[in-house]
């Protein structure tokens, strides 16, 4: 089973982003996803910068995949997506069906991203016939559903296995709204929240996280302790979503778990900035964390 470093969901400074991926060259991850997958206003790194990073990581033996936006809102977004898909050097993760169509037209293989919301065999078969070589199930898909899904021959399954769960996208920017700002004049407040902005209930319990136009879980999805279940369900790649600090330790923990070490959730908790959850995998409330319960 392989490890992937998912696309960066947050807005970090250019210096922090470059330093993060420089460090990632030495991490035991097999696949690295690059590119902006939340908000087109985030442009401290542009396509030439991502391509330069991609080439550097590829030279270190990583498989590099360039991810598209899941929500296309303007002609400029579409133009940027066309350029990314036509990069000619690295594989693409298609995160909306417009990107899928462009990949089909270009005749290039692609990764079917989690925001395509593939829940049934016919859709998955159609994507495989269209050139998808790997698919990422929606984050809500539980163990039983995944195990029952007939995956076409030659297609690998990659599962979101660590990080705040990306739950929804909106044309509105929740972070800007929090600061009483308009989306088009957001002052790039996402830079102030490198792991998202936690939203609590009236009882002061963490519930969701705001990340620009993206809504996330407040808790961190954590499945390292379920490596055997994941393998038995046909998962070939575990996706780890970047966090601002301690990511190297998180990667090392998952790598050890895949190599046969007993994964201790308490040990991993030391490197997490929020409480863990694994409820979706069990078919329960997403906020549940039941490491002792088998799927």
Mean pLDDT, residues 16-37 taken together? 98
Half-sphere exposure of 168 (CA within 13 A, CB side): 9
Tokens linked to 33: 């996803």
Residue 121: which residues within 8 A CB-CB, separation 6 or more?
149, 150
Beta carbons within 10 angstroms of residue 75's beta carbon: 8
How much is the pLDDT for 153? 96
Q: Give 3-state DSSP helix, strand, coil % of the chain, rounded to 5.
A: 35, 20, 45
Mean pLDDT, residues 248-261 taken together? 97
Start-to-end Cα distance in the chain: 19
pLDDT score of 157 more than 90: yes
Has domain 2-164+218-282 been given CATH number 3.20.20.70? yes
Mean pLDDT, residues 177-198 taken together? 96
Beta carbons within 10 angstroms of residue 20's beta carbon: 18
Q: What percent of the chain has pLDDT over 90?
A: 99
pLDDT score of 269 more than 90: yes
Residues 84-138 have pLDDT tens digits of: 999 999 999 999 999 999 999 999 999 999 999 999 999 999 999 999 999 999 9
Strands (E), 80-190: 91-94, 110-112, 132-135, 156-169
Maximum CA pair distance of the chain?
52
Tell me how far apart the alpha carbons of residues 96 and 243 are, in angstroms, rounded to a whole number. 24
Tell me how far apart the alpha carbons of residues 9 and 4 are, in angstroms, rounded to a whole number. 14
Mean pLDDT, residues 131-149 taken together? 97
Tell me how far apart the alpha carbons of residues 252 and 255 are, in angstroms, rounded to a whole number. 5
- pLDDT band at residue 223 using 50, 70 and 90 as cut-offs: very high
Q: What percent of the chain has pLDDT over 70?
A: 100
pLDDT score of 295 more than 90: no
Residue 221: which residues within 8 A CB-CB, separation 6 or more?
139, 160, 161, 162, 163, 164, 165, 276, 277, 278, 280
pLDDT score of 15 more than 90: yes
* β-sheet bridge partners, residue 157: 135
């Amino acid at each position: 089973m392989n490890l992937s470093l998912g696309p960066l969901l947050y807005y970090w400074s250019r210096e922090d982003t470059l330093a993060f991926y420089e460090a990632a060259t030495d991490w035991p991850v097999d696949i690295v996803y690059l590119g902006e997958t939340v908000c087109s206003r985030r442009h401290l790194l542009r396509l030439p910068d991502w391509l330069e990073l991609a080439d550097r990581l590829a030279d270190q033996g990583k498989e590099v995949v360039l991810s598209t936006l899941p929500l296309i809102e303007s002609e400029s977004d579409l133009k940027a997506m066309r350029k990314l898909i036509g990069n000619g050097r690295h594989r693409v993760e298609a995160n909306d069906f417009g990107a899928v169509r462009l990949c089909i037209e270009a005749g290039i293989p692609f990764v079917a991203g989690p925001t395509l919301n593939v829940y049934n065999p016919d859709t998955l078969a159609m994507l495989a016939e269209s050139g998808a070589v790997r698919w990422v199930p929606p984050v809500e898909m539980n163990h039983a559903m995944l195990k029952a899904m007939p995956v076409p021959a030659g297609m690998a399954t990659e599962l979101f296995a660590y990080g705040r769960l990306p739950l929804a996208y909106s044309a509105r920017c929740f972070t800007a709204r929090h600061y009483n700002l308009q989306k088009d004049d957001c002052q790039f407040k996402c830079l102030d929240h490198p792991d998202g902005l936690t939203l609590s209930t009236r009882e002061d319990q963490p519930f969701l996280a705001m990340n620009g136009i993206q809504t996330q879980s407040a808790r961190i999805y954590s499945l390292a302790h379920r490596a055997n279940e994941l393998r038995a369900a046909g998962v070939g790649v575990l996706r780890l979503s970047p966090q601002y600090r301690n990511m190297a330790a998180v990667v090392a923990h998952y790598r050890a778990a895949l190599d046969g070490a007993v994964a201790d959730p308490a040990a991993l908790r030391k490197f997490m900035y929020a409480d863990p959850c694994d409820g979706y995998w069990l078919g329960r409330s997403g906020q549940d964390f039941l490491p002792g319960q088998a799927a």
